[in-house]
Structure 1
Amino acid sequence: MFEDIDILKQKLDQHRPLAPSIVKNLQEDLILRWTYHSNAIEGNTLTLLETKVVLEGITVGGKALREHFEAINHRDAIYYVEDIIRKDEPFSEWQIRNIHQLILKNIDDDNAGRYRQQNVLISGATSNPPDYTLLNDKMAQFVDWYNAEANQLHPIERAAKVHADFVGIHPFIDGNGRTSRLLMNLELMKAGYPPCVITVENRLAYYEALDQWMAFGQTEKFVQLVANAVLEGFKPYQVVLGI
Structure 2
Amino acid sequence: MDASLKTLLDAVAADKAKLDAARPLPPHTLASLREKFTLEWTYHSNAIEGNTLTLRETKVVLEGITVGGKSLREHCEAVNHRDAIRYVEESVAKQEPLTEWQIRNIHMLVLKGIDDGEAGRYRQENVVISGASTVPPDFLHLPAEMAALVDWYEQARAMSPVERAAELHTRFVKVHPFVDGNGRTGRLLLNFELMKFGYPPAVIRKEDRLDYYDALDEACVSGAFEGITRLVAESVQRSLQTYLQVLGLRT
TM-score normalised by L of structure 2: 0.95
1:76 aligns with 2:83: yes
Residue 238 (structure 1) shift: 2.0
Residue 83 (structure 1) shift: 0.2
**Aligned with residue 174 of structure 1, among 180, 196, 220:** 180
1:241 aligns with 2:250: no
Residue 236 (structure 1) shift: 2.0
* Structure 2 CA distance for aligned equivalents of residues 65 and 235 of structure 1: 35
Partner of 1:225: 231
Which consecutive unaligned segments of at least 5 residues does structure 1 have?
none
**How many pairs are equivalent?**
242
Partner of 2:111: 104
Residue 72 (structure 1) shift: 0.1
Name the SS for the 1:234 alignment partner: helix
Task: Report Cα offsets for 1:149-202 as digits up to 9, x if no partner.
Answer: 221101000000110000000000000000000000000010111211000000
Residue 216 (structure 1) shift: 1.4
* Structure 1 CA distance for aligned equivalents of residues 232 and 93 of structure 2: 24
Partner of 2:3: none
* Structure 1 CA distance for aligned equivalents of residues 93 and 44 of structure 2: 25
Moved over 2 A (4+): none
Name the SS for the 2:68 alignment partner: coil
Q: Which amino acid aligns with 2:185?
A: T
Partner of 1:119: 126
**Aligned with residue 45 of structure 1, among 52, 55, 75:** 52
1:34 aligns with 2:41: yes
**Aligned with residue 95 of structure 1, among 82, 102, 124:** 102
* Structure 2 CA distance for aligned equivalents of residues 69 and 56 of structure 1: 13
Residue 235 (structure 1) shift: 2.5
Q: Which amino acid aligns with 2:18?
A: K
1:206 aligns with 2:196: no
Residue 53 (structure 1) shift: 0.2
Residue 239 (structure 1) shift: 2.3
Q: Which amino acid aligns with 1:218?
A: A
1:139 aligns with 2:139: no
Name the SS for the 1:123 alignment partner: coil
* Structure 1 CA distance for aligned equivalents of residues 99 and 213 of structure 2: 26
For structure 1, which segment, 18-27 or 46-55, has the greater mean C-alpha deviation from structure 2 after superposition? 18-27
Asked whether the equivalents of residues 15 and 241 of structure 2 are also in contact (C-alpha less than 8 Å), the reply is no
Percentage of pairs with the same residue = 60
